[in-house]
Amino acid sequence: MAELPEAGVAGPLAVHVEGFQRELSGLGFSPRTARDHGYVLAQLSRWVAAEGISLDQLTEPVLARYVQARRRKGYRRWRSRRSLRLLVGYLRRAGAIPLTGLEQDDPLGMLLDAYRRYLVTERCLAPSTVRARMDVARRFLGPRVTSSGLDLESLAARDVTGFLLTQARLRTAGTVKAMTSPLRCLLRFLFVAGLVPRDLSGAVLAAASPRLASLPRAAGSATVAALLASCDRGRPAGRRDFAILTLQARLGLRAGEVAALRLDDIDWRAGTVVIRGKGRRIDQLPLPPDAGEALASYLRHGRPASGCRAVFLRACAPGGPMSGHCVAMVSRSASRRAGLPVVGAHRLRHYAATEMLRRGASLRQVAEVLRHHSEDTTAIYAKVDRAALGLVVHPWPGAQR
C-alpha cells in the first residue's frame, strides 16, 4: 500500500501517520483511498500548527472551525465533518485528542448526548430509530439555545404546537406525522430528567391519518423477479444481494433484521432461522428452501473470510457487518440495475405478506411471520384481494342515478 511519508507531514499529527496508515490498511482500504485520508491528516496537522492549537484542544467546535476554514478557502473536496470521521475516530482511540467533543459550554450537545444514552440504554431503540429521534430533537431544541445557555424553563405547550405548525408549512403531511412520536419521546425525557416542570407530550397533536385508508404498496411478482435477476450471482456481492432480497421477499424481514442475522442463528438441520426484531424481540421462523439455498451459496462462495459472526458483510472497505442502512440500499440498487422505480425494503415485506395471503394463509399466520405485536397491524392486508372484496362491497345508495 502506498504510504504517506511522515517527513511530508508538518505539525503535531506527523507522529500518527504510520499508525493511521496501518489502520486503513487493516480495514481493507485501497491505496488510493488511503492516500486521500493521509492527505486529510496532513491538511489538519498543518492547520492545527498554524493556529497554535494543542491536540487536547481539538474538540468538535474546533473541528467545525477547520471545516469552515477549508470552505472559505474554496476547497471543493474534504471540506465536511464527515470527511474527518475516520481520522478523528483513530486519533480518539489513540488518545491523541479528547475522547468526546462535548464541551461544558455546549449545553445543547451535552443534553443531546444524555438523550442519546437514554434512547439506547433505557428505550433499547435501533440505531436508525435513534438517529431519527435525535434529528427531531436537534430541530426542536436548536432554536432554544441562547447566549446564556439552553432555555427550557419557559418551554410551554404553545412552543410545541408552534414547532409542529412551522414544520407543517415546510414539509409533507407524512413527514410531519413521522415527527410526532419522536417529539413526544423527547418531551417525556425532558420531564423525567427534571429539565422542564411539566410533561408537555400531551401538547403534541396527532396528525390526521384515517386508519386503513390505503392499500399496502406491495411489489408485484414480476418486479421481485426482476430485482432478483439483476443480481450478478457470479460475483460475491451479487450472491450476497440475491440472498438478502430472497430473505426479504420470502420472510418479510426488515432491513435491520437482515443486518442483525448471525451465523449461529441458522439451524441448517432443523431448517429454521432466529430473527432479532424490533424491541429486542426474538423469534424462530422456518427457513424456506429457496432462501436457504441462496444463503448457502453466499456463505460458501461469496462471503469474505472473516472472524465476524454477522451473516452479511460489507463488500468494500471498511470491512465488517452490514448496517441496516446498507441492507436497505440493496433493493434500491437492484431497482436501478433492473430499470425499475425505486423498490424499498418495506415493499418487499408487503410482498411477502400478500403472497402468503394469496396462497391461503390466514391473517393470524401472516401476523406470526411478520412478527406483528398486534393483529390489528396485520388488518391492512385484509384488503389486498380486491376481487374478493368486490363480492362483498355493495353499491353506494343512489350511485346509479
Indicate the DSSP class of residue 28.
T
CB proximity list for 64: less than 8 A, separation 6 or greater: 81
Q: What is the pLDDT of residue 211?
A: 55
Considering the domain delimited by 221-356, tell me its CATH architecture: Orthogonal Bundle (1.10)
Whether 383 is a known active-site residue: answer no
Strands ordered across the beta sheet of 272-276: 266-267, 272-276, 282-286
Could you confirm whether 372 is annotated as catalytic? Answer: yes
Residue 323, φ and ψ in degrees, nearest 5: -90, 170
State the pLDDT at residue 384. Answer: 58
**Whose CA is closest to 259, among 128, 86, 82?**
128
**Among 349, 350, 351, 371, the one annotated catalytic:** 349
For the chain, what percentages of helix, strand and coil (3-state, to nearest 5) are there? Answer: 60, 5, 35
Catalytic site residue from 37, 79, 233, 254: 254
Question: Could you tell me if 77 and 40 are in contact, meaning their C-beta atoms sit under 8 angstroms apart?
Answer: no
CATH topology of 107-203 equal to that of 221-356?
no
CB of 320 within 8 A of CB of 326? no
Q: What is the pLDDT of residue 8?
A: 61
Max Cα distance, the chain (Å): 89
Q: Which three cell numbers stand for residue 277?
A: 426484531
Q: Catalytic: 66?
A: no
Catalytic residue among 35, 46, 278, 337: 278
**Per the structure block, which three cell numbers stand in for 36?**
486521500
DSSP run (H or E) holding 282: strand 282-286
The active-site residue, picked from 46, 144, 188, 372, is: 372
pTM comes to 0.67
User: 81-109, pLDDT tens digit by residue?
Assistant: 888 888 888 898 888 888 764 444 568 88
Tell me the domain boundaries of the chain: 6-93, 107-203, 221-356
For residue 183, which phi and psi values (nearest 5 degrees)?
A: -70, -40
Low-confidence ranges of the chain (pLDDT < 70): 1-8, 100-106, 207-218, 375-376, 379-401
CB contact set of 390 (below 8 Å; sequence gap of 6+) = none
Distance CA 184, CA 190 (A): 10
Multiple choice CATH, 107-203, 2.30.29, 3.15.10, 2.60.120, 1.10.150: 1.10.150
Per the annotation, the verdict on 278 as an active-site residue is: yes
Task: Please give the grid coordinates belonging to residue 365.
Answer: 399466520
Per-residue pLDDT reduced to its tens digit, 125-136: 877 788 889 999
Query: pLDDT at position 274, please?
Result: 95
- 119 secondary structure, DSSP code: I
Q: Catalytic residue among 184, 346, 347, 371, which?
A: 346
pLDDT of residue 215: 56
Q: What is the CB neighbour count within 10 angstroms for residue 101? A: 18
| pLDDT score for 246 | 96
Q: Identify whether 401 is a catalytic site residue.
A: no
37 catalytic per annotation? no
